[in-house]
Chain A
Amino acid sequence: MTTFYENREIVTPGDLLAEGDYKAGSNTYKLGNKIYASRPGLVEYNEREVRVVALNAFYIPSVGDLVIGKVVEVNVNGWVVDINSPYSAILRASDVLERSFKPQRDELTEILDTGDLLIAKITSFDRTRAPTLTMRERGLGKITRGQIVKITPTKIPRVIGRKGSMINMLKKETGCRITVGQNGLILILGRRIEDERLAIQAIRKIEHEAHTSGLTDRVAEMIRREKMKEEIKQDAKSPRETDR
């Protein structure tokens, strides 16, 4: 077994990553006993497996994923939802309502209309048919407030961090409620707009520097710095207010 790159080195499609008895992980493919990269990204070698953490990709639905989507079409018995993927999803009315759906009684546009944003879970997908969604679980439903940030879906694990370290730090430091959709959309709900802005700025930084190490500490430091700046600004403002 031979490897041809350092761990976490940047590779491009077609690069020969390893030769021998390895398993081809994500973003790689196998020809004979050679493993090549199929996307630009960082190589990771394990005991038995070679994989590439892609720097940019699109979202392919997977059953059980939490996603944030937008209603694009209302049909007779459900909705078509854009989930930031090559495949748009179907949400049936019976997967939204607590009771059974009766077309003569329920007006679908009163529940969800085109343009509405929602949090849902993927219940089925096999590439031959459109993925289906459900909203009948805790934490799922229509989004009524907050802000949405869009990042490339491969960087979602970085936003969450090892065992949730990054996301927990973000929640604590900014005081925002953050819902991460596996499809690259993130909902941020804060008490003040400044908190939301700070969380968005931090997520943008994570996306930009996702392929570097020591990121959690740098993001935490950036948030603290921004908070200090804001405090100074407010201190400067308050004396003038007392003058009046």
Chain B
Amino acid sequence: MQKAPVRLIDEEGKRVDGREWNELRPIKIEVGVLNNADGSAYIEQGKNKILAAVYGPKEAHPRHLTLPDRALLRCRYHMAPFSVEERKSPAPSRREIELSKVIRESLEPAIFLEHYPRTAIDLFIEILQADGGTRCAGITVASLALADAGIPMRDLVVACAAGKVDNKIVLDLNDIEDKEGEADVPVAFMPNLNAVTLLQMDGTLTPEEFEQAVNLAIEGCKRIYKMQKEALKARYLAIKREVEEQ
């Protein structure tokens, strides 16, 4: 079956949702949204809506999982059945299990796990609405939830994707661009330490294009990082302002 050709970038260089090639989707972040979790955060990035919750460090159950030299980080990336257009089975799929592992490994280098041996940290990332780039937004929001829980970290981890769409390298792909485009490069990054913790590529790129895409993604990460920090401080600054006004 031949697919109808889709124009992902129009004559004026605008993308399907009206963005420029180097423009992020609008982002809204909130920290400390759940009372029952030790730490939590919520992000809206374009049409993505993601909630993250952290429990712990606490005693690891079952006991045999405990590590003698560091804390155990357990991560669950899960898409709600209503997060996509066609109902998704709530059971963890192959893709979700893989993403859970990938997200865990992108956050582990940021956390001082070795300070708390024999304990476990549980991290839940719940995708309420998905529109491409959920793994990146998931990492961004998860690191905020970890910081909110008071878990010591080397740096906040921030993630963003770049890719190739209609022969052009663009930033922060949405669902259509991800599916119809030529390539997608998600990058997770610790800006203060200048270290990449996740780097994947789906599709084909020349070495030059790949380098361009990685640099663009890191540029995007740095922009999101500023919003992350603002969100983390916002709650406390609001209280401070309130008090000073009295």
Contacts from A to B (Cβ < 8 Å): 10, 12-16, 27, 29, 31, 36, 38-40, 54-58, 60, 86-88, 127-128, 152, 154, 208-209, 211-212, 218
Q: How distant is the Cα of A208 from the Cα of B239 in the complex, in angstroms?
A: 8
CB–CB A12/B237 < 8 A: no
Residue on B nearest A9 in the bound complex, by CB: B233
Contact partner, B149, options A15, A36, A56, A87, Cβ 8 Å: A56
Contacts from B to A (Cβ < 8 Å): 38-39, 56-59, 68, 110, 112, 116-119, 147-156, 190-193, 228-229, 232-233, 236-237, 239-240, 243-244, 246
Q: How distant is the Cα of A13 from the Cα of B152 in the complex, in angstroms?
A: 8
Contact partner, A211, options B119, B155, B236, Cβ 8 Å: B236
Q: Which residues of A contact B148 (CB under 8 A)?
A: 40, 56
* 10 other A-B residue contacts (CB within 8 Å) besides A14-B193, A40-B236, A128-B68: A14-B156, A14-B190, A29-B112, A39-B152, A40-B148, A55-B236, A56-B148, A86-B59, A87-B59, A88-B59
The total of interchain contacts (Cβ-Cβ below 8 angstroms) comes to 93
CB–CB B147/A39 < 8 A: yes
Contact partner, B233, options A12, A14, A208, Cβ 8 Å: A12
A-B contact pairs, 7 of them (CB 8 A): A13-B156, A16-B192, A40-B148, A56-B149, A56-B150, A86-B56, A212-B239
CB–CB A10/B237 < 8 A: yes
Q: How distant is the Cα of A39 from the Cα of B146 in the complex, in angstroms?
A: 10
Q: In the complex, which of the residues A87, A88, A128, A152 has the most CB atoms of chain B within 10 Å of its own CB atom?
A: A87
Q: Which residues of B contact A211 (CB under 8 A)?
A: 236, 239-240
CB–CB A38/B39 < 8 A: no
CB–CB B119/A39 < 8 A: no
Q: Check A86/B147 contact, CB under 8 A, given A10-B236, A13-B152, A38-B153.
A: no
